[in-house]
Every structure is written in structure tokens, then in C-alpha cells.
Chain A
Amino acid sequence: MSEGSLDTFPRLLLQHAAVRPNHPAIREKDLGIWQSWNWSRVSAEVRSLACGLAELGFRRGDSLAIIGDNRPRLYWAMTAAQCLGGTPVPMYQDAVAQELEYVLQDAGIRFAIAEDQEQVDKLIECRERTPGLEHIVYDDPRGLRHYTQPFVRSLDAVEELGRGARQSGFIDAEIEQGKSDDVAIMLYTSGTTGKPKGVCITHDALINAARGGCGFDQLTADDEILSYLPMAWVGDNLFSYAQSLVAGFTVNCPESGETVMTDMREIGPTYYFAPPRVFENLLTQVMIRIEDAGAIKRWMFHYFMEVARRCGAEILDGKSVGAGERLLYTLGNVFVYGPLRNVLGMSRVRVAYTAGAAIGPDLFRFYRSIGINLKQLYGSTETCAYVCLQQDGHIKLDTVGIPAPGVEVKIADSGEVLVKSGAMFKEYYKRPDATAETIDAEGYFHTGDAGFFDADGQLKIIDRAKDVGKMAQGAIFAPNYIENKLKFFSYIREAVAFGHGREMVCAFINIDIGAVGNWAERRNIPYSGYTDLAQKDEVYALVRECVEKANAELALDPALCDSQVHRFLILHKELDPDDDELTRTRKVRRSFIGEKYGVLIDALYSGKTSQFIETQVKFEDGRSGKVSADLRIEETRTYPPATAKKAA
């Protein structure tokens, strides 16, 4: 088959089943052992699943909700739906019932596939108000034996139904009918503002994005990826689904969310993808363990990390570095970087990407300096996460690289980044108004991000266009940039900066309970929980030190000197997607927080030294309660531009 006829995912699957039937397509760790399915088995599984779905009444144009962790059968269900000309709609597995309900109703979904009892329970709850949901199918039968509802059945039963009823020619005919401009997948955007919208992406667009990416980084069938990110996220769809089906490489599903670190070490992926927060968490864990290590190991770590900081990234980029430094780096590689990469499960990583949010430059440098080829890419759900990519050897800390093959990027007069490519979404589902708003007459998609091209033609993203503001004295205010500076400190988990239209910048801080808790334990500081720990004098002093370091760095940049944080407070609760403060991808919902914590912002700017606050919170079991505290507000040292160098 020529590439031209491989224009839908089911056709790609058939091709792999024919060309490399025995090559592992997907693995899953079950009962402690990695089970693998080769392409020919996957093809057979998808066929029987598709037949079963057809038997239940799934028709061309129907949508199939998919909810759960990354499981092989859930991926197969996606292809099965596509075989029948339907659209899979993956959903975030930690979404609460109301969120699911919204999507189920908006997309008019009749069929849902759930991973386990937890998800089935949510769907059953949804069904009370969403009678359109006709079938719920589950993968893992545990705890579901006594569910007698006629609309709940197991995937096994559905496959059985399919195997018995349909001829093998049926699926081939269905696949034959598929067109490249059919909607291959519908993803609901996390929606930093307003209700989520269904982004419809065609086979053509997603395959274009995947082919472009595979070509750019020379991905082949021999690569390995660990797929542990939510299936509802465009990144997982591009990397674990589309690119795997284009290049034919192996997807590995971890045993459970908690075992990702171990599973990653066992698999040793060659191709790795994670949003910045995962890299952040990994670094925090490393730092905690180093602090607990013996004096010699600690000294070695700090000494060689200093060497890596000086020359590691340059060596990775193939730039010239002095012989002495190179020798030290080689030693460091033996004693520190190699073992560290091994602990992180990144020994075999050839290409690693991060996207989803801007990554702190320091965090980025850390990974590159220990020899991990971490690169940034830029994209969004609407652009199939495929706009800009960084080329090997041309990595800059603060850019997202050059426009990817086949993508045209221009900057609007307002500073907004505009994109036109063959990997573009078709429309927002049933929202022509919103579609018209973001795609202009010339076919450019308005990303909503502010950025510019630097001298080398690399795109630099500063912030969300709507978040970038001006301070009262006229200086530019890019909250994300400041927050990322703060979040690089392992003690700070989340930060929200304010400053638009104000004379100075103030910030809310969330401490990292793991890192600060460990720090407190080592100093014999007792605490009962997050709220208590957050308000300790010692913790405030610790955080103030971090904020002041960030200030010193901000003072170095003339454009951002005014963005130094003057006053801050530590929030009494962790910002949480369940309370709508963060999106499911853990981006701060700025305006919502601004409203919810209005009194705290007023207190920050009114010179008060403390403020009482009571907040409603949702617990993980669905109940809600109240958290209240008297929050201290602290001043921090700021630096004039001239003396900043010394202080830093």
C-alpha cells in the first residue's frame, strides 16, 4: 500500500498487521509480568471489538466515550470505533460525574467504555440525568459481578458478541468506507475559561501531525514509549496513538499510576514525553532523596551537578568545551549522571519532549545537563500539539523551536501567535461561533498565546495573550514567567502572581507538601497537615528565601525587573482541579482564583500583615467541607537592577 492510501488509523493498523505482524505493538504489565500483543493480535482484537460494538448498535457517526487509565483495550476501542466510522471521545479519568455528564450530553454519546468499577459507578450516576447513554462497557470486571443493570456489560462479552455475529468481511468493508476527512477523535479542551469545547480532529490532520513528528525525529518501529498520560490529552493521542500507528513503534502501559517510575526503569523507553510538572515532580523526588543521602554522595551530587550546569548542555549540543571540563563531565557521567538517568528510567531516552505548559528554564537545563535530550515543542489541542519543535543541536532554553515541517506560523500585530497547517482541527463540535472566532478567513488559527520570533527564527512564547498585562508604571507583566521561576524551587508546588494594573507584583504560594514536609521532619518541626505546615514561621522563612532568589534573577532582566515579587502569602489549601482552581492539566485558572480569593488579593495590596479566609473544599470522596485559616502576609526583599548581579 502506498502512503497515500494509508489515510485513516484503521488502514494504518491493517498495514502494520500485514508488514510487521510479529512486532510488539503494545505491552501492559499485569500480575508483575509484561504481557505483549503484536500487531497481528492487536488487529484481531480490534476487529472483534468493532464487531461487538456494531452488534450493540454502534453506527457510522456515533461517538464512543472512553474513560480510564492507559489500557491496551481502551486504545483498541479507539481504533474499533474508528473502524466503524465513529468518533472516540476520551475523557479524563479523574473527572467527577458532573464533568463527564457535560461531555456525554454535549457530544450526544450513546456508548461508553470504562476501565473499572470506579468509572462505571460515575457513568451510572451520569445516566440518571443523561438517558441518551445507552451502553456502558467495562474492561476490568473486579467488583462488578453483581451489577445487574441491563445496560452494563463487560468488554469480553462485547468481543464475544462480535466474534459470533459478524463475518470478517464486514469490518473490511466498514474500513473501506472510512474517509481521511472523517473526524478521527474528539477531545474536550480543558477550558481555562468557560465550558469545555469538543475539538474535532480528522484522521488526515492527526496523521499529518504524526508523520511530521516521526520524520523530524527519525522515529522508527524500534522505538519504545511509555504511555501514562491521560488519554484525553492531545499529547497522548499524538505520541502514544497516532505516532505509534504511523511509525509502528511499541506502546507500553504501566501497571498502575503509582508504578510509573518502576515501569519506566524496566522498559527504558527511547522516546519520552511528559508535561513540565512531571519533570518537576521527578526532580523534587531526586532532590529529596539526595538530601537524605550520606555526606559523600551528597557532596558528589552537588559537585558534579555544578560541572553539568557549566558544560553539560553544551556537550549535548555538540558545542566545543574545554578538555578539562570535558574530563570532569565524563567522570560525572560515570558517578552521577549515568546512575541518575538510570534511576529516572531515562538511560535509553533518545528524544524526550515536554509541552503543555511553559517549562522553567532552570528545570529544562537540569535535564539537558545530565545528558537527556529533552526538547520543547509547542502546540495545542486544536493544532494536534504540532506547531513548533526544537531541532537536535539547536536547543535554546527559552524558545520552543522552529515551525515544524508543513506548518506556517506568523505573529499578529497584537503579538498573538497565528498558525496554519495541515494538522489543524476541523471545528469545535456544534460550536460554529467559537470555530469562526479562532480560525480566521485566511485559515489561520489564533492560538491565544503571545510570542515572537528571535534572531534565529525560533519562536519564543511569553504567556497566554490574555494573561500578559501591563503594570501601572507601564512595564510588561507576564505572570506565567514569574510563576515558573518560583515553581522551580522544589519547595514551591504552585504559584499565582498578580500585578496587572498594579504598582507591584504579589503572589500566592502553594508549598509542596512532600518536599516541605520532608524538610520539616528533618528539622523536627511538627505539623498536622497542609494547612498547619503552610503557616509555620520556619516555612514562611524558607519560602521567602526562594522568592528572594527568584527576585534576584528577575532583576537581571531589564524588561522584567519590575516583576519582582514584593509581597506573598502561602495559601491554606492546595489548589485543586476538583475545586475548579486548576484545569485538569493543572494550569492555573487565573480569573477564577482572582474572584474566589479576592479578599486575599486586597489584603496583599492593602499592606495588611494577615487575613482570615474560609474556603469550601471538595474531598476526594465527593463530600465537601470548609478549610479556614488566618493567613500571614510577608514582605520580601527586592533588588534594584544594578546590584542584582552580586546578590544572585
Chain B
Amino acid sequence: MQGGRQIGGVVLGMEGISLAFGGVRALQDVSFDVREHEVRAIIGPNGAGKSSMLNVINGVYHPQQGTVTFKGKKRRDVNTHEAAEQGIARTFQNIALFKGMSVLDNIMTGRNLRMKSGLLAQALRLPWAVREELQHREAVEQVIDFLEIQAYRKTPVGRLPYGLQKRVDLARALAMEPTLLLLDEPMAGMNVEEKQDMCRFILDVNDQFGTTIVLIEHDMGVVMDISDRVVVLDYGRKIGDGTPGEVRGNQAVIDAYLGVSH
């Protein structure tokens, strides 16, 4: 049921991106774009440069060459904070949550950027700070309801099973109300049922909020099922780009995944 969603123009353009760490060339002249409201997957074997690409998008790494265009504006070496302010949120491969804090508090951190009242005002519980907190709490409750984690509000994240922690990680990212959501292996280490749930949530997010999604994933079944377009990386180069069907038939992609004799 993806019929009602209108895929729009290009929201993120990556042009000739090259990134090197000393002698290691993580990305070499990679170009692709992401359109508004689409689910875009980045796939490739281990070490292909997928996570590096996400890190370039949200400003962790600054590419030596190439340009990033976001919402029509060329971006020059933004940092992560600025990327977040522009509406880019992400989840991490190795869950980045505060293990000792409750699910609710973790998700509240996702609202941090949008909070205006200062530390002192919040500590003193001044009326406007309280009012603001209530507003944010309501937004967080929407996300909790959406991802069906009502039963775990008060549970410390560290005590939750892995699949649920992944969901909380997604909840925290969603709480930012991003326009572009980056998901780094959202389904790694999950069982079949958890994967199905996660797929449904990703599609629902995309459908309900119109969020543009870029995801890295290893499970080919999942990628082919939920993404609109796929870009394939191998050794830092782009070797394929297109719809799941096109990519599946691409010889270079098959070789990269299955290996080829030289």
C-alpha cells in the first residue's frame, strides 16, 4: 500500500563524493540522489563504504571532493549539529542510546534540538519550561504510540531485548521530526518477526509522515521489498543504481556479491 505517496523532486544530491582516510580511499567519485518521500537503500559488501556515505550525509565526515546538495542548497562541511538542525536524523548500527535511562527519557533527547528554554529554567521548573516540556512530551507520546512501545516507557533501555532497543533508537530519531531519516542497518541481528515489524514501521513512517528514508541493509529480501531505489557500492565505488528489479539483474552487482574469478 504505497500508492498514496507522491515521490517528489531531488531532496539530497551527492555529486562526485570522494573520501579518503590517509591512504584508504573509502569513497571514490560516488554520485547519486535521493528524491523526496522515497525509500532509498544503499547496499554493498562489507567495507564498501556504506556507513561512510551516511556519515558524509549527516556531517560526521567531510569529503575531500564532491558536493552535497540538501534541499536545493549546496552544503559546505556542515557538522552533525547543523545537519540535525536542517532535519537529518539517523539511527546507528550499534545502537546509540543511554542504556541507563528510561525509554521515555531517551526519546525525549530526540526533542533536545527543539527545546528553547534553558537549563536553569528547566531546573527551576519555571512555567514556560514546564509548558514546553509538556508539548514535547506529547510529541514523544505520538512516537511511542506509533512504534507501539507503550509498555516500556519507564523501562531502562539496557534491560530491553535487542530488537526493541533498535525500535527505541528509531523512536529517538523520529522524535526529531526529521525530513530525512538515515537508518544504518535497522534490521541487523533481528529475528524474522522483528524484521517484519521493523519493515512495517519503516514503511509506515514513510507513508504517514512522508519522511524521506535512506537506509543501509544487508538483508536483500528486505531491501528489495521496501525500497524504491537502490544504490550499490563496492570498494568505495558506485557499481549500480536503480530500482530493485534493475539492480537485481545488474551483472556488476551479482559479481560483487557472489565473487568473480579473475
Listed in ascending order, the chain A residues whose CB lies under 8 Å from chain B are 30-33, 142-143, 145-147, 255-256, 258-259, 262, 620-621
Contact = CB atoms under 8 A, between A and B. Distances in A.
B251 interface: no
Interface residues of B, number: 21
B111 to A, nearest CB: 15
Interface string B219-239: 000000000000000000000
A146 B148 contact: no
B1 A143 contact: yes
B4 A32 contact: no
A146 B3 contact: yes
Contact of B150 (A146, A259, A621): A259
B207 A620 contact: no
B141 interface: yes
Contacts, number: 41
4 interchain residue pairs of minimum CB distance: A258-B151, A31-B141, A146-B4, A259-B151
B193 interface: yes
A63 to B, nearest CB: 30
A32 B153 contact: yes
A33 B142 CA distance: 12
Interface string B172-193: 0000000000000000000001
Interface of B: 1-4, 137-138, 141-142, 144-146, 148, 150-151, 153-154, 193, 196, 204, 207-208
A326 B30 CA distance: 80
Contacts of B208: 142, 145
Given A31-B141, A31-B142, 14 more contacts: A31-B138, A32-B144, A142-B146, A143-B1, A145-B4, A146-B1, A146-B207, A255-B150, A258-B150, A259-B150, A259-B151, A262-B151, A620-B193, A621-B193
A256 B196 CA distance: 20
Contacts of B145: 30-31
Contacts of A146: 1-4, 207
Contacts of B138: 31
A30 B138 CA distance: 11
A32 B141 contact: yes
27 contacts: A31-B141, A31-B144, A31-B145, A32-B137, A32-B150, A32-B153, A142-B204, A142-B208, A143-B204, A143-B207, A145-B4, A145-B207, A145-B208, A146-B1, A146-B4, A146-B207, A147-B1, A255-B150, A256-B148, A256-B150, A258-B151, A259-B150, A259-B151, A262-B151, A620-B193, A621-B193, A621-B196
Contacts of B196: 621
Nearest to B144: A32
A565 to B, nearest CB: 35
B165 to A, nearest CB: 16
Nearest to A145: B4
Nearest to A259: B151
Contacts of A262: 151, 154
A191 to B, nearest CB: 29
A147 B208 CA distance: 14
Contacts of A259: 150-151
Contact of B151 (A30, A31, A33, A256): A256
Nearest to A257: B151
Contacts of A621: 193, 196
